[in-house]
Structure 1
Amino acid sequence: MKLRLTVIGLILISILTCAQDKNPSNKEIGHEIIVSELTIPWGFTFLPDDSMLITEKTGELIHFKNGNKTYISGLPEIYVRGQGGFMDIILHPNYKNNGWIYFSYASTEGKGNGGNTTIARAKLNDDTLTNLEVLYKASPNSRRGQHFGSRLVFDKEGYLYFSIGDRGNRDVNPQDITRDCGKVYRLNDDGTIPEDNPFVDVQNAKRAIYSYGHRNPQGMTLHPETNEIWTHEHGPKGGDEINIIEKGKNYGWPVISYGINYSGTKFTEITKKEGMEQPLHYWNPSIAPSGMAFISSDKYGDWKGNLLVGSLKFQYLDMFTMEGKKVMKEERLLEGLGRVRSVEQGPDGYIYVGIENLGIVKLIRK
């Protein structure tokens, strides 16, 4: 009996190891802890003086400067539930002149019980946020704790893109453009709707929607050469995806998917359908991706142009060697430090990675 249990245990370990270790581990990498003692550093960004603003999911905004942490006051009321809380943060591309900081969080404002994803901007005056403006609030609220999405990106034309997950309501929200959630949105920097958004003339549509059919995008970045918006999103059991976001396109969730229910049953029989976009890449098994950045500096030699994606599930940084839009190779970096939540390239050209229950580390190639 003991022998049988041992054999079963070894088989399970082997299966899990194979699932996790299908891509090689790159050993020519090290790290330096820059900010320690963070719990869930959901997002972070660099100010012009190279100090950092860091969001803690639990509802704190930290200004890290000269080795010291200052907690910023003046935040809106933040609804912390499940995967929701204080999420991403970025600067306006012209921050030096206008001082605008953009961030996402879960809020109880509006219709319904619970909360939903909110996009706002504010200015930093000493240690206080001022001039707070809510730019977009998804509705209705929900008490479900999953799929708030919530990455933010500016493109080179100054448009603001953000993601909101399907909020756990997959059969209603993602495919319906008259409803929020399960979408990528585009706004002008002041929160107004661009006149050329794809659904501005569609009756009852949410006019801020830029693409739809998404599950829970927690990675979004601007391609440094093509100006394309790249995202990744959580699949169910299997089927995490990387997508290039195009105006008005339908990315298929939940009609098509490379994943299955967590119980092992199927919710769809198809992976492709006319009028729905195929992912550039998908993971099976899921890695639970979060955070996303391209290496566009020369700090890492021939890694320039590679794509980086954090793994919450397997606790590593996934590095893609790209040839245009084709994945040539995947490698694992920073294994075993913790759940990788956020990834950014700093103004110094180095890659910085937010790791849960550790902090923010700088990626160093040996």
Structure 2
Amino acid sequence: MKSKSMLLTATVAMAFAGAAQAVDYQIETVAEGLEFPWSLAFLPDGGMLVTERPGRLRHINAQGELQDAAIEGVPEAFVSGQAGLFEVALDPDYANNKRIFLSYACGTLEANHTCLSSATFSEAGLQDVDEIFRVQPAKTGSAHYGGRVAFLPDNTLLLTLGDGFDYREEAQKTSSHIGSIVRLNRDGSVPEDNPFAGGGDALPELYSIGHRNVQAIVYDAQNDRVLAHEHGPRGGDELNLIEPGNNYGWPKITFGVDYNGSTISPYTSLPGLEQPMLQWTPSIAPSGMTLYRGEQFPAWKDSLMISTLAARNVRRVELDGNEVMAQETLFDELGSRFRDVRTGPDGALYLLTDAAAGQVLRVVPGAVSAQ
């Protein structure tokens, strides 16, 4: 894929375990003029699909050219505030079935949901569009939808959700999807071994509860674990190890306070509620996340790369098992809000800028070798 222009080159040095590592990189523009791009997926032919929050799905072809026309057949999204079209994710068997998944807000301002649909993709548009999941109950307002998707090796998927901002007490209820992560079969049916399946009034799709607004989720096949992060209020953004049936505490426990400075909970821990692997106060507003295992940046291998909105950078988080060892701040020289970060099949790092004239950026090694 050809880049259109080079923005800058930089060298970042950070000490880890007593040794200085210098990483030289350059940032290239792949595509620009996207309206609040939200999610990125790589096609087998070298192209990409990009969602725009106002409800459009865009195609960047294998030559790196953003197609002028949006892809036809995308389900209608409710677009207002934080609501709109969110994730695009390719079925793990996409090479055979051409199936994609789209998450989006659906409904009206007075009654809306996070929805998930599947469809088959071609350049002519989407076909066989099928809504496979809709959050219950409906809510009013246009905030905190979650919307990220991760695939598990047992042919199921995880969909992250939010608490709707004004519905935070719902996050502690197993009779509500609001403020949870759900697990579905890829046709939308419920896996029989879900932790809340068969639990009386509990909704069977639930996988974990007690979340505020889960903005990224990654399945780490090498370590067979699920990692996710979520927005706190004013402070208390969290990185969590997600395990089935667990309660992550919101709003009973939090490291943050409400936006007016008032106390949400006096507790940062309580029995039976999970503690985060890492929390950020003040808030960084984490958005996307990728576990970097590409070949272009050996010094970053096995690191979590977490894009941020409020902090306007990418946080590299180094783990030892489930323990956070160090953090590094990257790309703050751009001054951009970053909505998503992905590892490309070419081993480069890809970024989406959150702006009315948003960009797809590619990070590749610079001309100077790392020292």
1:49 counterpart letter in structure 2: D
Moved more, 67-76 or 203-212: 67-76
Q: TM-score, normalised by structure 2?
A: 0.88
Give a deviation string over 1:246-277, Cα, whole Å, max 9, x none.
01000000000111111112111111111110
Residue equivalent to 1:100: 99
Residue equivalent to 2:73: 74
Q: Which of these residues, 319, 341, 344, is aligned with residue 342 of structure 2?
A: 344
Aligned pairs (5 A) from 1:86-97: 86-97=85-96
Residue equivalent to 1:233: 230
Task: Please give the secondary structure, in 1, of the residue aligned with 2:73.
Answer: coil
Query: 2: distance between equivalents of 1:52 and 1:341?
Result: 16
Give a deviation string over 1:323-363, Cα, whole Å, max 9, x none.
22222221111113411001111111211111123311111
Contact kept in structure 1, 2:137 and 2:178, CA below 8 Å: no
Contact kept in structure 2, 1:224 and 1:296, CA below 8 Å: no
In the TM superposition, structure 1's runs of 4+ consecutive aligned residues that sit over 2 Å from their partners are 26-30, 139-143, 169-172
Query: 1: distance between equivalents of 2:344 and 2:224?
Result: 18
Residue equivalent to 2:10: none
- 1:156 offset after TM fit, Å? 2.2
Aligned pairs (5 A) from 1:110-259: 113-259=110-256
Structure 1: tracts of 5 or more residues without a match: 1-25
Query: 1: distance between equivalents of 2:364 and 2:168?
Result: 44
Moved more, 264-273 or 285-294: 264-273
Residue equivalent to 2:363: 363
- 1:154 offset after TM fit, Å? 0.4
- 1:224 offset after TM fit, Å? 4.0
- 1:315 offset after TM fit, Å? 0.8
Residue equivalent to 1:33: 29
Contact kept in structure 2, 1:44 and 1:342, CA below 8 Å: yes
- 1:139 offset after TM fit, Å? 2.4
Query: 2: distance between equivalents of 1:171 and 1:72?
Result: 35
Contact kept in structure 2, 1:41 and 1:359, CA below 8 Å: yes
Q: TM-score, normalised by structure 1?
A: 0.90
Contact kept in structure 2, 1:156 and 1:227, CA below 8 Å: no
Structure 2: tracts of 5 or more residues without a match: 1-21, 367-371
**Judging changes above 3 Å, is the alpha-carbon distance between structure 1 residues 289 and 345 closer, same or farther for their aligned structure 2 residues?**
same
Q: Give RMSD over aligned pairs.
A: 1.9
- 1:140 offset after TM fit, Å? 2.8
- 1:145 offset after TM fit, Å? 1.6
Query: 2: distance between equivalents of 1:306 and 1:252?
Result: 26
